[in-house]
Structure 1
Amino acid sequence: MSDKEVLEILGVKVGLGKSAKVSFNVAKLHTQNKIDVPVIIERSKKPGPTVLITAGIHGDEINGVEIVRQVIAKGINKPKKGTIICIPVINVFGFIHMDREFPDGRDLNRVFPGGKSGSLASRVANKLMTEIVPHADLILDFHTGGADRFNAAQIRIVKNEVVLDELAEIFGAPIIFYTKNLNKSFRNSCYKLGIPMLLFEGGKSFNIDKTVTNTGVNGIKRVLNHLEMLNSKFKVSNPKKNAIKILDSKWIRASHSGMFKSRVSVNTFVKKNDLLGHITDPYGSFNQFVKAPSDGYIFNVNESPIIYQGDAIFHISTKIES
């Protein structure tokens, strides 16, 4: 697998010590223009693991794309040993239109492992799972919060997986959030193949946040350094503090529709009944206080100024690993 002298991917053969940019394409636009999804491959002369770094499964999650872009632009993806494969934008259709879904209206992250004759999204998932993923020994996949919901930088893994626990600690995000693998997700399909994945979440859609980006890039460097793949010219920093490990959580939802203003930011520890924010109306007739239902860490904040009753506005931990 990773120690092959010649790696054949998407019909292109790449030898040890070689670089290649190959095209991952499934369909043309309705105008018959080709859509190429670049897959950037860098191989050391020295055999070693293969790490796949991906982003843009959702076309509006720009921050993840920026993390992978920086890794390529800075040459972090040129390994001291082994192979690094980067796909900065998997859902290029959505990226072009600044849309989360595919043109067929499907969420790519809910159709894995896909099929050869299914919907457009399903075909892309199938090609990714059959022609690229099997080459990988480890996958680092980058996401952001949906819409205006800003996620604290975090690694999401399943509980009781020794390899994932170790790699998550090494990555060094401020939060490790233990969550089940969602059915038909990219993460779940890779898990069934026995390929470990660290899923990174940070920031929000249509936004690039410098702190989140730096956390992602530094995390990649730490993991590559641990695998002895990082070029020695790059410095590796230690995480500022140990990760908060969230075992369970709940969404705090808006009790009223109106104009919303948060009083707390992500990575904040709050006590029960602490004031988290206000919901008001344009006419000054009411001011609804949003208070913490329990002690916990706030790790997602809805930054939309206008919300509706029932909207998720804060994500708070309810159980952490001590």
Structure 2
Amino acid sequence: MKPKVIVYKKLEPVVLEYVQEACEVVYFEKIDENTAAAFYEELKNAEGLLGSGLKVDHELLEKAPHLKIVSNISVGYDNLDISELNRRGIMATNTPNVLNETVADTMIGLLLAAARRIPELDHYVKSGKWTSHLTPTHFGVDMHHKTLGIIGMGRIGAAIAKRAHFGFGMNILYHNRTRNEEVERTYMATHRTLEELCQEADFICLMVPLTPETKNLIGETEFALMKNTAIFVNGSRGATVDEEALVGALQNGQILAAGLDVFVEEPVRHDHPLLSMPNVVTLPHIGSATSETRIGMAQFAAENLVLGLQGKKPPALLTQDPSNR
């Protein structure tokens, strides 16, 4: 008898077929107040969960007595209570590496779009305002040969450093819990304290996971340290930044511009002050959103799921291996 799994994210047919070969699949397009009762009923006998964004905590796990694995279609896993999953001997997995290059492309795009005011000037042309020669009020700033500070030098941070160093001739500073000798050697990157990085960098890119330690990591103090010509981009999680402090820093001219792929509340409310600022480039959390990468992430997550249900160790295991307990 095949193990029952609940899928709560639309999968490409090839990925869904792979899961169905090994599992009995129950699919929910979304889990909300209209589908919650049916979801919890199916959860009673489910051995696996496959999707992204679902909060898996004590309350949910109490309703899932047969659960063996939770497979996140995401590199981030702040929706998972890892300590509770460990306590229950339930595996949890994510999808690292598959999206590194794609997210790095997005972050470079955000940096460049904010520096050269691309969305703002695109609107300027399309709204019929381009009726004469441009003046310095329309100019952006150079990105090449400037200093980029990367906060969070993991695999994605390193991929951003590669593009910035070799593609734009940028000087790389980074702040990380541990030194990364490979990026220091390969991209001539220099380790800095968070305070030093904020003071020295022309561009600042935030790429840390969301943890209790990184919540509101960048706030009033950090923005006050930045150059008034600095451009700040966030590709991590919205809650790693104090959004009120960011709004204030932009309004007060403490920093020049910002590029955001993430927000505290997603989807972001339409009347959020950041959305009315021409010097803020906003994206709807699309860091990894290309067809190729999303299919690769889903396939990786599906493989994690199936291997875990077969009693094997998934390659991207976040929790303790139950076989070693």
Normalising by structure 2, we get a TM-score of 0.28
Q: Which of the pair has more CA radius of gyration?
A: 2
Between structures 1 and 2, the one with greater helix share: 2
Q: Looking at both structures, which has the greater relative contact order when contacts are Cα pairs under 8 Å and sequence separation is at least 6?
A: 2
Normalising by structure 1, we get a TM-score of 0.28
Between structures 1 and 2, the one with greater strand share: 1
